[in-house]
Structure 1
Amino acid sequence: MRRLSEEKTRILFEKLSKYIGHNVKGLIERPDGLYAFRENRGRVYYGSQELFNSAMTFAPEEMHSCGICLGKFTKSNKFNLQITALACLAPYAQAKIWLKPAAEQQFLYGNNVAKSGLGRMSENIDRYQGVVIYSMSDLPLGFGVAAKSTMECKNAEPAAVIVFHQADIGEYVRSEDVLF
């Protein structure tokens, strides 16, 4: 586990700020201690500073993961968030969208969100802003990118795409046959 370079830290913070805005600082300086980001084999992990200090006792080739995997860097140095980052993003999300029960299943199958499945949404969502998707019972289901702003959604037709799908909790089930 090694520290992220300045360039990779900047890329990571830009991606996180699309979803949680200025709350990125809240991820690092938490009431229960100091947290950090570390990289191992192109994947970025999030955990407490104490956890990473304890992990330093292992040889780098023996260490597979430590903390919560937020995502990974591609070969072109872009950062892709994975669904495991949802637990970290949901408490700090600024833009939220709640789905009707009938639309939840479609989203969990990997489809985009149409206006007809929209239960409610936060005010002042900009186009192409990162959003966290919730069920009507406030269970985080995944995240995506807003296809339309809040103002555009009011005048959109029912079949119009409101959110582009990025990741959802159904990925665990869909990828189960690949893992075993």
Structure 2
Amino acid sequence: MRPLTDEETRLLFEKLSKYIGENIKILIDRPDGVYCFRLHRNRIYYISEKNMKMACNISREDLVSFGTCFGKMTKTSKFRLHITALDYLAPYAKHKIWLKPSAEQQFLYGHNVLKSGLARISENTLKYQGVIIYSMNDLPLGFGIAAKSADETRKADPLTVIAFHQADIGEYIRSEEHLT
């Protein structure tokens, strides 16, 4: 477990700012204490400083996990956001998409969001902006990248892709068969 380098921090904050904008500050300086990001075995964890100090007492070989895994640094030095970060990012999301009940299952199977399944979209959503995908009951379902802006969405036909799938809460079930 170690602090992030400047490059890793930049990659992490760039990815997070796609989804929550300037609200990154809220993640670090919280009312219940100061939180930080740490790297352990190519995974970036989000943890309170108090718990991080306790985790430092465990040897690196014995430490499996700590805090919440926000994502993974790939071998090509890119940051990939994991679905475990959804509960922390959803309350601060700048751009949101709500799905019709008939489209929720398709999204949870890993498919992109089509206009026919779109119920609502945030007004100021730009093309290629990070979006949080919600059900009509305001339950966060996953992450996506807007394929069309909010203005382009209004003119699009029903089979047009509105958001590219990035991660969803159905991944736990789909990845269960790959666990050893």
TM-score range, shorter chain: over 0.9
Deviations 1:51-72 (A, max 9, x none): 1011011111111110000110
Q: Alignment length, in residue pairs?
A: 180
**1:170 paired residue number:** 170
User: Which amino acid in structure 2 is aligned with residue 20 of structure 1?
Assistant: I
Q: CA RMSD in A?
A: 0.7
Identify the residue that residue 25 of structure 2 maps to in structure 1.
Answer: 25
Partners of 2:16 and 2:24 lie apart in 1 by 7
Report the CA distance between 1:169 and its aligned residue.
Answer: 0.4
> Do residues 2 (structure 1) and 2 (structure 2) align?
yes
Instruction: Look up the equivalent residue of 1:83 and give its one-letter code.
Output: I
Q: 2:51, 2:87 → 1: CA distance? A: 18
TM-score (norm 2): 0.98
Residue of structure 2 in register with 1:64 after alignment:
64
What's the offset of the Cα at 1:141? Answer: 0.3
Gaps of 5+ in 2: none
Give the share of equivalent positions with the same residue, in percent: 63
The answer for the alignment partner of 2:101 in structure 1 is: 101
Is 1:157 equivalent to 2:157 in the alignment?
yes
Q: Give ranges in structure 1 of 5+ residues lacking alignment.
A: none
TM-score under structure 1 normalisation?
Answer: 0.98
Structure 1 residue aligned with 2:15: 15
Distance in 2, Cα, partners of 1:126 & 1:70: 24
Distance 1:163 1:51 in 2: 37
Q: Matched residues in 2 for 1:77 and 1:143: separation?
A: 21
Q: In the aligned structure 2, how far is the partner of 1:178 from the partner of 1:14?
A: 30
Could you list the runs of 4 or more consecutive aligned residues of structure 1 that deviate by over 3 angstroms after TM superposition?
Answer: none
